[in-house]
Amino acid sequence: MRKGIYQFTSESVSEGHPDKVSDRISDAIVDTYIGHEPEARVAVETLCTTNRIVLAGEVRGPASVTRDLIEDVARKAVKEIGYEQDGFHWMNASVENHIHEQSRDIAIGVDAKGNKDEGAGDQGIMFGYACDETEALMPAPIHFSHNILKSLAEARHSGAEPHLGPDAKSQVTLEYHDGKPVRATKVVVSTQHGESLTQEEVREIVRPHVMNVLPNGWMCAEEDFYVNPTGRFVIGGPDGDAGLTGRKIIVDTYGGAAPHGGGAFSGKDPTKVDRSAAYAARYLAKNVVAAGLSQRCLIQLSYAIGVAEPLSLFVETHGTNEVNEDKLAKTLRELVDLRPRGIREHLGLNRPIYARTAAYGHFGRSPDVDGGFSWERTDLVEALKQAFNA
């Protein structure tokens, strides 16, 4: 753990950010396929720009998921976010569908057959991380950045702040003393707004949402509180900037506080280890910290396409461990089957639970009763404590 005084910054973007609109549409399509057929294969990308939505990718699923249904799903996702603007409207935007059947070459490598277990959907490295900076066991800067935007979105959806638009960004810089966050030194929030609002009016709308999220006494100085620094943010969303699926991978994970393997999550069914193994790695890391075996835990997993067993599992606790890291790695592999099928079954991932992950982070959320965010459970804690007599 780093000693001394230093600062660290993380950002978040709202559900109305162009890239997040694309993520939401892609994940809504994943949910649709899995809702019709739990074993469906989906890898869908979305491009959003001024009144245009373009879908591409490959799928293997039931005929009941028609092209008309996919278009309806895309429009509903945009409607739920709240886009009814001249430059981007859920009803008026054109939807181009270029989704096609999954490659047979990929299917051969991934599918279980005879004595061959289901293989990973691609090669790659995945990271999971947890720390004791917040109750959610997430790094504090990304945790607060997400919650500021969630609070603003809730006010917009409820009608409490009708002049706010869907597009928004936040950025929180925290000061750390010997690895522990103690206060915010800078806060930046940019939010789309109606023509009638001034910059100062937007500032005062945003202020209580920041104050309520940060711990008491943590608010930065007034001159370090930046709201809509350009002075105006009326044109936003895909009308202001194009959006693509998978461009906010650091926002989706740990805000830069931990490594990222490079693979995006949204638009992919859980046979893709980019998604499922990253969830498993977070699940393992969170349980290690929740069990009190370390204050920080980083897990790396690696896979080869078509191969079921992970090639490696690496554990790093940054010097905060109370137990031997080699034994910890061995114990984690004994507790959870980290083959793709094993992950999906252990976490119950073949369910339509993905659209809700598309904004405000895939991690640090509360597990849902229907199985959403199952990777945030801490049900390995007792087994880990017993394994180490903790």
Average pLDDT over residues 116-141: 91
CATH topology of domain 124-132+272-387: GMP Synthetase; Chain A, domain 3 (3.30.300)
> How confident is the model at residue 379, as a pLDDT?
98
Give the whole-number percent of the chain exceeding pLDDT 70: 96
Chain segment 306-328, per-residue pLDDT in tens: 899 999 999 999 999 888 999 99
> How confident is the model at residue 35, as a pLDDT?
97
Question: How, if at all, do strands 94-101 and 52-60 pair?
Answer: parallel
Q: Which of 105-119, 132-146, 338-352 has the lowest mean pLDDT?
A: 105-119
Domain ranges of the chain: 5-13+140-235, 124-132+272-387
Burial category of 196 from C-beta neighbours within 10 Å (exposed 0-12, middle 13-18, buried 19 and up): exposed
> How confident is the model at residue 112, as a pLDDT?
60
Please say if the pLDDT value at position 114 is more than 60: no
Same fold, 5-13+140-235 and 124-132+272-387: yes
> How confident is the model at residue 113, as a pLDDT?
56
Chain segment 240-280, per-residue pLDDT in tens: 999 999 999 999 999 999 999 999 999 999 999 999 999 99
Q: Which of 81-85, 182-186, 187-191, 319-323 has the lowest mean pLDDT?
A: 319-323
The answer to whether the beta carbons of residues 59 and 102 sit under 8 Å apart is yes
> How confident is the model at residue 105, as a pLDDT?
63
pTM listed for this prediction: 0.95
The answer to whether the beta carbons of residues 146 and 253 sit under 8 Å apart is no
CATH code at 5-13+140-235: 3.30.300.10
Handedness of CA 188, 234, 80, 98 (dihedral sign): negative
Residue numbers in the known binding site are: 17, 19, 45, 58, 102, 167-169, 232-233, 241, 247-248, 264, 268, 272
Q: How confident is the model at residue 109 (pLDDT cuts 50, 70, 90)?
A: low
**Which residues carry out catalysis?**
17, 19-20, 45, 58, 169, 233, 241-242, 247-248, 268, 272, 274
